[in-house]
Structure 1
Amino acid sequence: MNAAPAGASKASLIQRAGTLSSRICDRVSGAIAGMFLTNRDMVDLMEFRHGLHANPEISGEEEATARRVVAVLEETKPDRIVTGLGGHGVAAVFDGTEPGPVVMFRCELDALPIEEIGSLPYRSTIPGKGHLCGHDGHMTILTGLARGLARNRPARGRVVLLFQPAEETGAGAAAVIADPKFKEIAPDFAFALHNMPGLPLASARLSPGPANCASRGMRVVLSGKTSHASVPEAGLSPMRAVAELMPSLTALGPGGALQPGYRLVTVAHARLGEPAFGIAPGHAEIWATLRTLTDDGMSGLVGQAEALAREAAGRHGLEVAVDYHDVFHHCENDPEAVDILRAAFDAEAIPHGEAEIMRWSEDFGLFGRGVKSAMFLFGSGESSPQLHNPDFDFPDALIEPGARIFMRVIRNLLG
């Protein structure tokens, strides 16, 4: 495990672990007889998370994070550790002694390109990067689950703990699935969680059907011809096309209620010409995020948005090119997988209720194609800063109940 972070002594972490155990019991109806992580475990796991938090790596750069994960997984002696999955992905495999289904639990390796603020003793040491979505906590929950599996392997089937790269860009799940090594551990069931500010601590929200929207970044490039600013008529400026396109694109997706037909188009960035007073522009870019409730709705929105870009370029004699980035498919919670999680919540006295569909996107949805999958929201506190805020920090109090929920799923499915 990582050394204790500066400002956090072993004694203070041991005391905090005991306090967290008490808080968890109080928060979750006081009915937790099956806690399988000891105070010693909690000290180690908090050290691990704090080390991850202090050393964030963004999508596609998670090499050192993957090494940290492999080091702690090796201590739990899985039957196999797969590395280099879809980039820097890691999977720990725990086999049962009898045939049975493959059950996968997924977390994310990557952090965000956001400067962290605040005075945590384990705050980010990497300028401009921070674990401000809670992926450090998600990794720690699966690491705790690995400790439980080291002591009590599944009776049958197989458990796969997947530490996925590049979730924040939408590239990671697709890369993992395309990797030939993944075919050897492909699951029958896939489960995940995401911490959720605004919900009571350690409470769960889950519903069948669409859980997260599909989205993609659309970049429209308009090309004309520059000229001296004193004779703009001698060039071909994309200024009018940009002025027309921004409101017409957003009109395609006005937002509203998250119901069938939901669309939202957000202009995220625009650039016209060069930052110089002597040049009439000849180049422009518009970046827009397209968002729909389901993948089926995305294809129609893409077609209409591209048509608007071509029409605007044609009216003004410009060349146009369109490309796409950060492509996320929508997440769909399978009813059977939802029932499995709900049974685990009930068995572990986890308060739970129905979840609203989230506008934000998550590439976990790709694992649900042909697989029974579900992701639940796990409350990180009603007063917690929002995800991607520069002062967000994952609550250590979620580590034990998160791991325990997943362990209950394993016991119920695999014995």
Structure 2
Amino acid sequence: MLTDQNLIQFRHTLHQHPELSDQETATAQRIKTIFLSFKPDDVLESIGGHGLAFCFNGQASGPTTLIRCELDALPIQEINDLPYRSVCDGVSHKCGHDGHMAIVTALGSHLAENRPQRGRVICLFQPAEETGAGAVNVVRDHQFDRLKPDYCFALHNLPGKPLGTVYCKPGAFNCASRGMIIRLKGKTSHAAHPEDGISPALAMSNIIQQLNQLPQQQEKGQMTGFNLVTVVYAHLGEIAFGTAPGEATVMATLRTSTNEAMNHLIEQATTLVQHQAEQHKLSFTLEWDDVFRASVNSERGYQIVKNACDITNTPLVTPDEGFRWSEDFGIFTDVAEGAMFALGAGDTSPQLHNPDYDFPDELIPVGFKLFRAIVEGLNG
């Protein structure tokens, strides 16, 4: 079985060689090489892209338990002065997926010598989590029919919380979110004769203002839970003082604690844009990007995580509300019972997606023990 030092070194190697979503070729190869030494009973390659699934079978019949982690890194330039600093310019593991992979590798190393008694355990390395497309592609892949998990679990490290403390709750755990791209088109004209054109400036201003106000309608009973619209980008016309603008772009992130509220918010935002375009005689298009469903933990999944914390003497906090950040693990809890939990990465850790963030190696044995307790509880 791999030692803690082996796993830390492996995490550092993954950190040093990050790859963006849907480009995780070398990362997948590193994972495959080490897992083949564990002699899994079945290996699925190129699932949902560069994804990998390693199956460890028990001798008796029983449930299939899937443990998932992520392969991809982010387009962020690392500023840390580390001996294992990213060698890829503008790309780095600033979400801790390198650490998550090391934890699931520890589990694979354990399963190599301790097969489950019943059912089977699957270690899944999912591509493209950062874009929200990876889990969807994995589940839609025909190979996923060979997996058919009964239970699924995942963890995510969480800076700003005590190191090694678990956060989990039944129900909505991560927010649904999606990027909205609004393109308005009118007609350019000379700046001296704006009346001869159709400027999107006023419609753009109204859309920005009113998008931010949409979540307030939950106070009128139209939406429940946490809801937020954040305008992230706006562009109007060109840098030309002699030209009145004819085109504009607005981009916003819609975020809700439930999938039902997201559907309602999308409808509201679309109606708002349509109304402003018609009022100002503009044409418009809408595009959606970075689509994440809410991750919803089942009551049974939460209880399994709680039991694992009890067995391993790991502190557990059950928050009243879920977290604002998004995760595509909700695709798996749509098809199997389970839960995602957060693992505190330290009170003083830089936040996720910050250029100075680094996954704390101390969490590798903590995460491993929790996953081990989960699979032993379900599969023996």
* TM-score calculated relative to the size of structure 2: 0.96
For the structure 1 residues 102 and 255, does the alpha-carbon distance in structure 2 shift closer, same or farther, using more than 3 Å as the test? farther
Is residue 303 of structure 1 aligned with residue 241 of structure 2?
no
Post-superposition Cα deviations, 1:86-116, rounded to whole Å, max 9, x if no partner, equal 1111111111111111000000111111111
Q: Please say if 1:221 is aligned against 2:221.
A: no
Q: Which residue of 2 aligns with 1:205?
A: 167
Give the letter for the 2:59 counterpart. T
The aligned residue for residue 117 of structure 1 is 79
**The 10-residue stretch of structure 1 (247-256 or 149-158) with the greater mean CA deviation from structure 2:** 247-256
Match of 1:164 in 2: 126
Give 2:350's aligned residue: 385
2:294 is the counterpart of 1:335: no
Aligned residue for 2:15? 53
Higher relative contact order (CA 8 A, sep 6+): 2
**Structure 2 residue 345 is the aligned partner of structure 1 residue 345:** no
| Aligned partners of 1:255 and 1:263 also within 8 Å | no
Superimposed CA distance per residue, residues 59-101 of structure 1 (whole angstroms, 9 cap, x where no aligned partner): 1111111111111111111112211111111111111111111
In 1, Cα distance between equivalents of 2:281 and 2:72: 43
Aligned residues: 376
Question: Per-residue deviation at 1:255?
Answer: 10
Which residue identity lines up with residue 396 of structure 1 in the other structure? D
- Residue 269 (str. 1) matches residue 215 (str. 2): no
Asked if 1 retains the 8 angstrom alpha-carbon contact of 2:294 and 2:327, the reply is: yes
1:256 Cα deviation after fit: 9.7
Tell me if 1:94 matches 2:59: no
Alignment of 1:306-317 (within 5 A): 306-317=270-281
Give the Cα separation in 2 of the matches to 1:132 and 1:373: 26
- The residue identity in structure 1 corresponding to 2:103 is I
* Contact 1:254-1:265 within 8 A present in 2 as well: no
3-state DSSP of counterpart to 1:192? strand
| Corresponding position of 1:398 | 363
Q: Indicate whether 1:70 and 2:32 are aligned.
A: yes
Alignment of 1:122-141 (within 5 A): 122-141=84-103
Letter in 2 for 1:309: V
CA distance in 1, matches of 2:263, 2:307: 36
Q: Which residue of the other structure, out of 214, 233, 237, is the alignment partner of 1:252? A: 214
Structure 2 SS opposite 1:168:
coil
Residue 231 of structure 1, CA deviation: 2.8
Which range moved further: 346-355 or 176-185? Answer: 346-355
Q: Which residue identity lines up with residue 324 of structure 2 in the other structure?
A: R
RMSD: 1.6
- Is the partner of 1:268 in helix, strand or coil? strand
Report the Cα distance in structure 1 between the residues aligned to 2:349 and 2:60, rounded to whole angstroms.
43
User: What secondary structure is seen at the aligned counterpart in 2 of 1:363?
Assistant: coil
Aligned-partner residue type, residue 150 of structure 1? A
Q: Structure 1 pair 256/307, CA: closer, same or farther in 2 (3 Å)?
A: closer
Name 1:360's counterpart in structure 2. Answer: 325
Amino acid of the structure 2 residue aligned with 1:84: S
Matched AA of 1:408: A
- 1:202 and 1:220, CA in 2 relative to 1: closer, same or farther beyond 3 A? same
- Residues 362-377 of structure 1 mapped to structure 2, 5 A cutoff: 362-377=327-342
- Maintained 8 Å contact 2:257/2:294: yes
Q: TM-score, normalised by structure 1?
A: 0.88
Q: Give how far 1:305 is off.
A: 0.6
Identity %: 49
Q: What's the CA shift for 1:339?
A: 1.0
Whether the aligned pair in 1 keeps the contact of 2:104 and 2:123 (CA below 8 Å) is yes
Correspondent of 1:283 among 247, 259, 265: 247
Answer whether contact 2:218 2:224 (CA < 8 A) is retained: no
The amino acid of 2:173's aligned partner reads A
| One-letter amino acid of the counterpart of residue 109, structure 1 | L
Match in the other structure for 2:378: 413
CA distance in 2, matches of 1:92, 1:125: 28
Aligned to 2:198: 236
Partner SS for 1:122 = coil
Partners of 1:173 and 1:363 within 8 A in 2: yes
| Distance in 2 (alpha carbons) for counterparts of 1:228 and 1:311 | 27
Amino acid at match of 1:347: I
Q: Specify every segment of 5 or more residues in structure 1 that has no aligned partner in the other structure, as ranges.
A: 1-36
Distance 1:179 1:383, change over 3 A: same
Shift of 1:47: 1.4
Take 2:278 and 2:17, find their aligned partners in 1: how far apart are those partners? 49
Instruction: Summarize deviations over 1:129-150 as a string: whole Å, max 9, x none.
Output: 1101101000110001000000
| Separation of aligned partners in 1, 2:190 and 2:53 | 58
Aligned to 2:68: 106
Distance 2:46 2:189 in 1: 50
The one-letter amino acid paired with 1:412 is G
